[in-house]
Amino acid sequence: MRIRVITRAALFEECKRQHIERGYRIEDERPIPVNGLCSFIAVREIPASDPVGELVSKALNEKHGSRGSA
């Protein structure tokens, strides 16, 4: 997942630090303010196995399976 983060120049470093702590990798930094705003791209790899997605899929399959057997 890639997101562009735009923030005020005064908060740029703090915002980057917060994203790094949350597991994002920082790319394409633009620390020089344009109209008072700076930006960077935060990238986080989505694991191949998504436990939440798997649980939702399993719940939906069980729901549909039980509907047909009733």
At residue 68, the pLDDT reads 52
Q: Are the C-beta atoms of 44 and 1 separated by less than 8 Å?
A: yes
pTM of the predicted structure, to 2 decimals: 0.64
For residues 1-26, one letter each, b for 16 or more C-beta atoms within 10 angstroms of the residue's C-beta and e for the rest, the string is eeeebebeeeebeebbeebeeeebee
Number of domains making up the chain = 1
At residue 70, the pLDDT reads 47
Weakly modelled stretches of the chain, pLDDT under 50: 69-70
User: Which residues constitute the domain of residue 52?
Assistant: 2-69
